[in-house]
Amino acid sequence: MDMNNLITENIDNPHELEKMFRKDPKAFKKSFSHAWEQNPDSHVLAVWNERLHFKETAHTEEASLLQKGFLFMGILAILAGISTRIIFHFVEQQAIAPINLAFGILPFIAAYFVYNNPPKKNVLYILALLFLTSGIYLNMLPLNEKDSMILVYLHLPIFLWGLIGLAYSGDNYSKGSTRLAYLKFNLEFCILYASMAISGMLLTLLTLRLFSFVDLDIEDFYFRNVVLFGAAALAIVAAYLVSMNLKLAKNITPYIAKIFSPLVLATLLVYLITVIWIGKNPFMDRNFLIAFNGILLGVLAVTIFSITESGTDEKKNIFDYINFALIVLALIIDSVALSAIVFRLSSYGITPNRLAVLGVNILIWGNLIWIMVSYMRFLQNKTGPSTIQDAVTKYLPVYGIWAAFVTFTFPLIFN
């Protein structure tokens, strides 16, 4: 019996149709047109017709997506590259702080988001004012390596990251779903940027090697101009590609989250057992306390991105329990770190570093409590996964406010 008759006979058997398609896709597609002509009222064949010919529609949509904003993205990428190179010149002259390089990239990413999703004028004015104020304020501060200044350099990028989030969300900045989408964007952006950066590194090595064969040392010129320009421009390109729903990053991020969660949990457990075994003490060892806080931030980041990628599936799985265990472990670490910081404050007095670390640990502790309680209720079937995501997204502005507080007040308080 030919394929055409088989399709017609199994018109009400979707399982058998799928089986036939998988067995010989080419023969199925060739015979399908005749079967579709004979049975134009079949809803099953109508679905198959859309499925078999979807590539043509997808290609047209993809072409329109590539055209939308492509030219504007290209202009922004070039401007970001030029701006970063100019800023780097003044950094080399030690006229401005290296953190100024962020202003060669981030405002242009914000500009692309504003173009792609135009907000109301008041949001636009707030963004422009805050970027401008931050840049002026930063360069009015003295160039030194005091603790308060180092804290500004560490916290300003977090504040600017919050401004990028405002540009991304536009008029929907208060919606949890938009904030969740921004977190997903960050993970996809990092993966895509890293992939393209590795390709750029390979191109750089090849270029330097080729020029070395003709006895030309272009390393200094190449890194100052081409690499720096490319690294800045690439950030705009990556933001554009992620916003165009590039499948590579979107398909791989859930798997990365699922792979890293159990690995981080296992590594952390082994590490903490080892620390207890050898008797390391964060109360007395300052470097170990710093490392402890670094671990805490890493665990928090992995947990948040795991929650972000878990979606809205009501069904529990092993990864939900792994995430919950990570949160509990992070809460234990944060509680120990908080105790050590309070001990050092009471023993050795207040310094900018101790106060900043105390503040961020209190914020993280509060966030972890909220996430843990939400997760516990979800695992007990009392709420859905949206409450867990709310515990993540609704707390994000708190980190931005704290970063702004440290950036704009610590240099004045600790002169």
CB 160 within 8 A of CB 146: no
Q: What's the one-letter identity of residue 366?
A: G
> What are the DSSP calls for 239-275, one per residue?
HHHHHTT-HHHHHHHHHHHHHHHHHHHHHHHHHHHHH
Burial class (CB in 10 A: 0-12, 13-18, 19+), 61: exposed
The interaxial angle of helices 286-309 and 318-348, nearest 10 deg, is: 150
HSE-up (13 A, CA, CB side) for residue 281: 6
On whether the CB atoms of residues 323 and 306 are closer than 8 A, the answer is yes
pLDDT at 229: 94
Kindly tell me the number of DSSP H helices and DSSP E strands found in the chain: 18, 0
Cα distance between residue 362 and residue 293, in whole Å: 12
**Smallest Cα–Cα separation from 252: which of 312, 194, 307, 187?**
187
Give the model's pLDDT for residue 12. 78
Phi, psi of 216 (to 5 degrees): -115, 120
pTM: 0.76
Task: List pLDDT tens digits, range 30-83.
Answer: 777 777 777 777 777 787 777 777 654 444 444 444 555 788 999 999 999 999
Instruction: Name residue, tokens 């878990």.
Output: 310
* Residue 310: per-residue pLDDT: 66
Tell me the C-alpha distance between 266 and 68, whole Å. 45
- In the chain, the amino acid numbered 313 is D
Report the distance separating Cα 369 and Cα 367, nearest Å.
5
pLDDT at 160: 95
Report yes or no: 242 and 248 within 8 Å, Cβ to Cβ: no
How much is the pLDDT for 56?
44
Running along the chain, 415 residues long, what does each successive block of 10 average in pLDDT?
70 79 77 77 78 56 56 93 95 92 96 91 93 94 88 94 93 86 88 88 87 82 90 93 71 71 80 76 71 77 76 70 87 85 85 89 91 90 84 90 93 83
